[in-house]
A and B are shown apart, each in its own frame.
Chain A
Amino acid sequence: MARKLSMKDAINEAVDQEMTRDPTVIMMGEDIVGGAGASGEEDAWGGVLGVTKGLYAKHRNQMIDTPLSESAYVGAAIGAAACGLRPIAELMFVDFIGVCLDQVYNQAAKFRYMFGGKAETPLVIRAMCGAGFRAAAQHSQMLTPIFTHIPGLKVVCPSNAYDTKGLLIQSIRDNDPVIFLEHKNLYGHMSDVPEESYTIPFGEANVVREGKHATIVTYGQTVHRSVDAAAALTKDGVECEVIDLRTLSPIDWGTVIESVEKTGRLICVDEANPRCSIATDVSAHVAQEAFKALKGPIMMVTAPHTPVPFSPALEDIYIPTADAIASAVRKSMVR
């Protein structure tokens, strides 16, 4: 598997292979075909950043451009899922979830429960998330905690192309609603990706780097910043373990607790706003389950409690930086 692929191309390949494998897999979204019906449609742009480019030409009956109404097509996708298709609804930016939240958290997330386990909703909502793209406050949020709060939803946020392909295929084959969040700043990130289809199970964190002095728990874009921080800290003789959660619901508590029991220190890095976030969730769980293992304060490195700034200078310091992460690790080591 010497082939490198970007995260963007990994998404495209996963959808392509699953549409070929299973004709009930369909995709709905705004401009995901782009120019269908016009001349040159096979060269259509394929979504706002070109992620679905070429899929319409290969799967004409499985790609549906929708009107600009998230509440309509997300609801339609949920209905189609309940009736036997495997729809992928592309929400373009996760920030648009507001107008269709009832369909998601009151309907899709509750069908299995409220129909006595007899209903399945094999739905994927794909959406871009995260800051650093100069896209301003309404197109840059990391809304993972909104979804992890809701039972009945599975929440995925990969950090690299390999995980993206495997987790997206797993999401499409899963029989429950999955919120699949793609960090737009990582679309160009390359890694080795097998040409064949493969799946990565939910609820399995990836230990990106092993270390014995401190545990950094994170996901998405900040995985890379945490690895940079860990590399910088080796100069001071500090070896950090970096855990990429990969899926936030379900979450791999076992790997987190095991690591903190080894290192005694926990630094939670989260691009979401600081209140009631993945960082607070992991911190609270570890404080409860592994309190005796802790040798220092749990540290949280998060975005501030503000909207994402449009000013590039401010946006750059809004996202947790490698420096901020390294300095939190040092603080956790002060007795």
Chain B
Amino acid sequence: MTSENIIPLVMPKWGLSMKEGKLTAWHVEEGQVISPGQEIMDVETDKIANAVEAADGGPLRRRIGKLGEVYRVKALLGVLAPPEVSDAAIDEYVAGFRVPAASDEGEEDEGPIYLYAETPSGRLRYAERPGQGDPVIFIHGFGGDLNNWLFNIDAVTGSGSVYALDLPGHGGSTKAIAKPGLEALADAVQQFMAAKGLENAQLVAHSMGGAVAALVALRDNRLVKALTLIDTAGLGDEINSSYIDGFVAAESRRDLKPVVQLLFANADLVTRTMLDDLLKYKRLDGVHDALRGLAASMFREGRQTTVLAERLAKSSIPIQLVWGAKDAIIPVAHAKALPNARVEIVAEAGHMTQMEAAGLVNELIRAQAAH
């Protein structure tokens, strides 16, 4: 037998800076048949810990990764192969496996990680995974950026092209927002879509980004084929103002940690590096003003100022709502606001459902794209 039937399981690459990861658990035994999307192991990086989903299916013939060991990105952790492949062939495959060189020195070989689009709202940063078919566009929430989708971007590639965008005031995009508010953010998304020639897209949006995506869909239904809104704003007026105010005000790791922990059902997911990255963002010139302006406009006096539920309920655009049952920022009860939406409540997730239940969210996005 040749090695053509052999599929390697490798250390995933989550986000730009990941160089290596520690294998912390195996969820499958040798001999077990794995299906695509199944959670097969847990990996921890200096930024975050998460389950790894199988990209391919088949019998797990070999577990190579050892618990507690650190492996480079794309290092071989296991081998899938049908029964007719001999043990000798697998041994030979394992012995001959080389970690692809691209993951060593990284960026240059893999093309630019971040791209920029010039729009009337200013320079917008985005990531792109090319593909054929209707696009998927990820839109993050308040204080977030495109890296909030690090478990999702690559998992939903395969059909249409995939984009993840930094809204104005966020990530690597312009920090200047002339009139901070929902309208300005929706303008920027539409300008980005126009600049890239995108329409008929599935918008996958989180929290404040959900309200932005919904407004874009309501303004121009040619642009949007479907909405997947995760722990979204815009469906009711309640919001945890101590989170919003705390995030805007926090100036140190110590101030920021308890605030960011509110986002997750599992507070241990908040690592030192995650807080450092957030502080680095918050310390950029213009960020404080942008966040304060957006909060004042959209979350005034502890309430959401724009509720789009009524208009969305009348819309013909397919909508799915995904919500963490333990969301401490926007109440999960808001998921009831749209009788026309498909609703998925995730028991063990907080406000960052796309990170805490990445596998399920990716499946829902793929299903929505296939419609």
* Pairing of A with B: yes
Interface residues of A (CB under 8 A from B): 1-2, 162, 166, 194, 196-201, 204, 207, 210, 254
Distance of A196 Cα from B112 Cα, bound (Å): 19
CB-based contact A198/B284 at 8 Å: yes
The reply to whether the CB of B347 lies closer than 8 angstroms to some CB of chain A is: no
Interface size class of B (residues with CB under 8 A): 10 to 19
For A203, the closest partner residue in chain B by CB is B252
Q: How far is the CB of A198 from chain B (nearest CB, A)?
A: 4
The contact of A1 among B172, B251, B285, B286, by CB within 8 Å, is B172
The reply to whether the CB of B272 lies closer than 8 angstroms to some CB of chain A is: yes
The reply to whether the CB of B333 lies closer than 8 angstroms to some CB of chain A is: no
Q: How far is the CB of A227 from chain B (nearest CB, A)?
A: 14
Give the residues in chain A near B280, CB-CB below 8 Å.
1, 162, 194, 198
Give the residues in chain B near A254, CB-CB below 8 Å.
254
For B283, the closest partner residue in chain A by CB is A198
CB-based contact B272/A207 at 8 Å: yes
The contact of B283 among A1, A199, A207, A210, by CB within 8 Å, is A199
Give the residues in chain A near B307, CB-CB below 8 Å.
none
Distance of A207 Cα from B279 Cα, bound (Å): 14
Distance of A200 Cα from B282 Cα, bound (Å): 10
Give the residues in chain B near A197, CB-CB below 8 Å.
284-285
Give the residues in chain A near B29, CB-CB below 8 Å.
none
Given the contacts A2-B16, A2-B114, A207-B272, A201 and B284 also touching, CB distance less than 8 Å: no
A-B contact pairs, 25 of them (CB 8 A): A1-B280, A2-B16, A2-B107, A2-B113, A2-B114, A162-B280, A194-B280, A194-B284, A196-B175, A196-B284, A196-B285, A196-B286, A197-B285, A198-B280, A198-B283, A198-B284, A198-B285, A199-B283, A199-B285, A200-B283, A201-B251, A201-B252, A204-B252, A210-B272, A254-B254
Docked complex: B104-126 residues within 8 A CB-CB of A: 107, 112-114
Distance of A224 Cα from B74 Cα, bound (Å): 28
Docked complex: B172-218 residues within 8 A CB-CB of A: 172, 175
7 closest pairs, A vs B, by CB? A197-B285, A198-B283, A198-B284, A196-B284, A199-B283, A2-B113, A196-B285
Interface residues of B (CB under 8 A from A): 16, 107, 112-114, 172, 175, 251-252, 254, 272, 280, 283-286
Give the residues in chain A near B272, CB-CB below 8 Å.
207, 210
Distance of A254 Cα from B284 Cα, bound (Å): 25
Beyond the given pairs A197-B285, A198-B285, 14 more chain A to chain B contacts, judged by CB atoms under 8 angstroms and listed by A's residue number, are A1-B280, A2-B16, A2-B114, A162-B280, A166-B283, A194-B280, A196-B284, A196-B285, A198-B283, A198-B284, A200-B283, A204-B252, A210-B272, A254-B254
Distance of A200 Cα from B272 Cα, bound (Å): 17
Give the residues in chain A near B284, CB-CB below 8 Å.
194, 196-198
For A21, the closest partner residue in chain B by CB is B285
Give the residues in chain A near B172, CB-CB below 8 Å.
1
Distance of A197 Cα from B113 Cα, bound (Å): 21
Give the residues in chain B near A200, CB-CB below 8 Å.
283
Give the residues in chain B near A194, CB-CB below 8 Å.
280, 284
For A210, the closest partner residue in chain B by CB is B272
Distance of A204 Cα from B275 Cα, bound (Å): 14
Q: How far is the CB of A325 from chain B (nearest CB, A)?
A: 22
Distance of A217 Cα from B160 Cα, bound (Å): 51
Distance of A204 Cα from B283 Cα, bound (Å): 13
Distance of A201 Cα from B254 Cα, bound (Å): 13
Distance of A197 Cα from B172 Cα, bound (Å): 12
Distance of A210 Cα from B175 Cα, bound (Å): 32
Give the residues in chain A near B16, CB-CB below 8 Å.
2
